[in-house]
Chains A and B, each alone.
Chain A
Amino acid sequence: EPEVTQTPSHQVTQMGQEVILRCVPISNHLYFYWYRQILGQKVEFLVSFYNNEISEKSEIFDDQFSVERPDGSNFTLKIRSTKLEDSAMYFCASSPGTQGNEQFFGPGTRLTVL
């Protein structure tokens, strides 16, 4: 069964450093998303991406965040200058044809900012 994959599974970085989280969505899906989940809290939407551009973003997704689809398979989230409060699980998700519905999540990247 096709699945969303994410790398790395765990990333440790120093405050102020840039990190890139990588995702490979399911191949025939058209909508891509990033979410984050701070330990013990709910899943929070960051950004959605369709047709090579951001279609929606939350208040959390400020100027330090960016997304890119550098080739036909990868979807990346870049955090330019990490802060302690960026420590969380970051989930990539994709959905086939309709925005928001039936999203398939990857296993997540645990980001730890020291």
Chain B
Amino acid sequence: QQQVKQSPQSLIVQKGGISIINCAYENTAFDYFPWYQQFPGKGPALLIAIRPDVSEKKEGRFTISFNKSAKQFSLHIMDSQPGDSATYFCAASGSGGSYIPTFGRGTSLIVHP
């Protein structure tokens, strides 16, 4: 099964708060888990990615937490800013037959000033 399930569908946080978006996958052959950020009218842009050999990766205010046994990974945005307001997609790809990423359905994040 190639699905990647993403939640929540939408998220509203106050400036300075923590935004958390969760994803779960089924295919254990996935070995690359990127997060994409998409602003209205633009293409998805790679934000941060993780491979299953580590449980966490941090880049600035963005952190991916990865739980291999639970087949779950999440994006945490610390000190959320209005400029972070966008749609976030998780994805998963791997060497188990297909390198093509399977995308989650997306989370619309709104950060209120």
Contacts and interface: CB of A to CB of B under 8 A. Distances in A.
Give chain B's interface residue range (CB within 8 Å of chain A).
20 to 34
Contacts of B99: 48, 56, 98-101
Interface of A: 4, 33, 41-45, 48, 56, 58, 91, 93, 98-108
Contacts of A103: 46, 101
A45 B43 contact: no
B46 A104 contact: yes
Interface string B88-111: 010001100011111111100000
A102 B34 CA distance: 8
Interface of B: 32, 34, 36, 41-46, 49, 89, 93-94, 98-106
Contacts of A102: 34, 46, 49
Interface centre among B32, B44, B45, B93 (most CB of A within 10 A): B44
Nearest to B46: A102
8 contacts: A41-B106, A48-B99, A56-B99, A100-B93, A100-B99, A101-B93, A105-B36, A108-B42
